A and B are shown apart, each in its own frame.
Chain A
């Protein structure tokens, strides 16, 4: 575990006047809740009452070990021990053995001082700055954030550091935007500060539209004050007195926790008029998105806050000179802002010492898909891709074989095994044809068809294209049509060539980042998985068995026991065979629904 977390834990112990003998802390992020955390909570409530055990039941955000949800920390004088995959049925034993008899249940422990488990490495090999408090504090209690040194950075700048100097600290730290483009944050602040205008805004971009990315959600749910503090410092630095947080509609819990955090910060005098009794005033409003991916793009986001259709516009003018309601506006991503207080407290040099020459600090990756340990991984920039996927996340699930990793969402690219040793930073990723993007990493194994995956992304971007510019509106549509033809075995002769040409044209001619990056998944799969396109086109086969029209179902003679389950499930009566004898599928009738394969008790049916 990184030293930041250690420091913070020490702080936590000092806090609180009334200290019950034990604490039970349940991870109540969206992921924990989806895994059943509330049922576990209720089970603890009942069990503690029944056994008359005095222990405080508390909540925390997501620590990032999502594959172990529901996570429960038990804090007793012997220290903190975390149990994973907790179900209500396990609660009574945790209470009787751990809390009453003081005997932790070793088989269920995922983390704990002095315990070496298969999960120890997941956190030990990370370096946590942005996630420093996630899963450690109760996000709905401002005192817990304060006990970790929260709002000290704000106090320091308000009392001791002039705005220009704050900007130069951020510039020296080398912090770059985590929302995708990687623009130097200090320079963006400087442009906005220098822009002419009586009124300026800070906007926090919490739209997190990339499917497969959820680090911003975890930070907002697990440590909302760190984002507010970052916005306050940014506001002070550029001379803004108002901020907006634009949160996507799919994140109701993040919105709730932000509202609580804002009202607590207001009560404590960190927000509102004369922040901490200084001349600086600042307030924050929440705007909820309404479901449009393109609204993550900064000019579209501004249009959306203003109440209009979220369509991007040409830049310049950049928002720094003409943004929200025509005023100078600085837009930063959640993760970018959550770094700010740490940098102010620990110094630019300490931040700049982490990472590579051009990419400083850490980056959070949301590693999901066919990987053993899926969750949030925060590592120094420059860490090898292999270390993240195999070292920290334990490699491929069910002992499958690694095929590709998709980085950067629909704007990113698919990288093959040969590139696992590249280091992750803005420049080296861009060189491969992928991009850092928001840091989503979806790992695919042999069961994923790369042509189909490219089609999937095009389907997404084509759907989300706002329609303002022709290359994006029509280009993505035509590309999607070609990819669909390929996955259906109806390729025309020149499709592949046309696909590549069109992809390059859409990239250079589109108005905003959506169109400019939409072809990336296609171009990278063509580059690294070209042979899969060939097999689809020339052999009309999909080796992964995904493209329905290119597969056939067959019954393996040696495994079929003639039980008749498949016959029952087949919706079109395509399967026949006498009882206890090998069955057969009539290809001319088969609609390739896959129900037979799903229900066969002997795994006797496969796709070829």
Chain B
């Protein structure tokens, strides 16, 4: 067992090919339980693709994703969500036809949702669950700092808050691992500062964070471990200080810009 015991996610020999394009090529790495692990890399490096493979939106050409030592590459997105991996999207995907609170309430669907029949008949247990869902969702909004807007239409929020709302919704899945795809994109400096402390608070709750982010200040501030991708391959992995001064990382970033 040894150090293996503390790893929540283990990516092995992963290859993702789109036609002739090699989007991921064996970026082997493990994510430690309870850590904040950042994935960085230039545009098109394969970061979002990696998230899509982990969360079941893409079936990899080759390789394995192990979550708590169990392979999950054969599972559907909703199944992966239910076993404890939730995510946000790079392009904001909030439910625009719902209120802020309803967005978060939906997050509980996988674990606590009622069946059609129970819902239709207003079965006592369904009503009870619904009340519990509402209570928990309000708790999450409080934690995330959006309580005062809970009854606003979700698409009336400014972009920054929409991104926070997506994080809130992902938390409602009660995940063990949360994957955040560029949560700071489009946020101003104060907002990304708030986001940084929010991500730390999520870690404090015992949730492992996997973070794709271009905002280096956020990444360097909060990450325990950083994985650097370029052209689908891992070029470096280590703590922030090491990555900052890593020659290949500097090269990849300078070479790209």
Binding partners A and B: no
**A→B interface (CB under 8 Å):** none
Show the binding face of B for A, using Cβ within 8 Å. none
